[in-house]
Structure 1
């Protein structure tokens, strides 16, 4: 139960940082908006990716050691960040209107599912993976629904506690998508071997260092932003009192 819980915490952390950065982008000037959206997208993408590979540390096949191809593993991280970025930028600039939200949620959900299966394709073992198509389809539906709900929350929910609650729900959805996808997996072992059963841990841990450091740095940026700490994250409204004050001064 350690890896599911730690993976869930990482999914919640990435989601919370992404939500707060996206909310922050709504109340900043246009020049800084892309920066906050990019930070939010990278936080969510790294959180989802880190959750996947921490969860995979708990995956064992008794008859064969497991390792991971570094190139495909890195590619899955790039896919996670890029597709989440597309969804975040769509809703960041077009809001939570039904058409943009549905497009962004579908693209992001498919991207998250693609990241999951790229990560699975990176596995190296003395066997072949098989999948149940119906369960895979269910996991993709969960990914799309979770992504749509997350993007809606990113531009619709105000206040620190509300965003925190949304990130907890997002963590449940992302983790549920992952483990639903894992239910679909079967392994046909070609050549049984009981050696180096823990090799997957040593192979994956170095790859997790970079995204974990990024999430820590993103958390520092969010924590030291005074508007986010004080909960003053409502979009700015024009100050209508200034012209009145100016007229009074001119009189």
Structure 2
């Protein structure tokens, strides 16, 4: 019970600065605009990824050890950051109008789902 709760707290703390940085990019001049969405994407992507890898040790299977494939684990972090980055940059550069928000949200949501599937595929354990 403690690790899923800790994972949720970590996700909230890690992701909270992301929207603020995106909003800041909308109010900043063109020359400094890309830095804020990049920081927002890193914050949100790492928050999502960290939540999963803090919460998953709470998942146990009787009589088998669970480990993670390093390459797939790193790939899941990369995907999380890149898809969130695409969404944040879309809103940060195109504005908070309905179409950019919908496109960014859809792409980011599907990417986050992909991140979680990659993280699950990275799990190694005995059994079928």
Same fold (TM over 0.5): yes
Structure 2 counterpart SS, 1:114? helix
Question: Does structure 1 residue 127 correspond to structure 2 residue 90?
Answer: no
Structure 2 counterpart SS, 1:115? helix
Mark the runs of 5 or more structure 1 residues left unpaired by the alignment: 129-251
Partner in structure 1 of residue 102 of structure 2: 102
Correspondence 1:1-251 to 2 at 5 A: 1-128=1-128
Partner in structure 2 of residue 248 of structure 1: none
1:15-52 CA-to-partner distances (Å, cap 9, x unmatched) read 21102211221222211110110000010000000001
In structure 1, C-alpha distance between the alignment counterparts of 2:127 and 2:96, rounded to whole Å = 45
Q: How many Å apart are 1:10 and its aligned residue?
A: 1.1
CA RMSD of aligned residues (A): 1.0
Structure 1 counterpart SS, 2:21? helix
User: Which ranges of 4 or more aligned residues in structure 1 deviate by more than 4 Å?
Assistant: none
TM-score between the two structures when normalised by the length of structure 2: 0.95
Task: Identify the range of structure 1 (42-51 vs 89-98) with the bigger mean alpha-carbon deviation.
Answer: 89-98
TM-score between the two structures when normalised by the length of structure 1: 0.50
Mark the runs of 5 or more structure 2 residues left unpaired by the alignment: none
- The number of equivalent residue pairs is 128
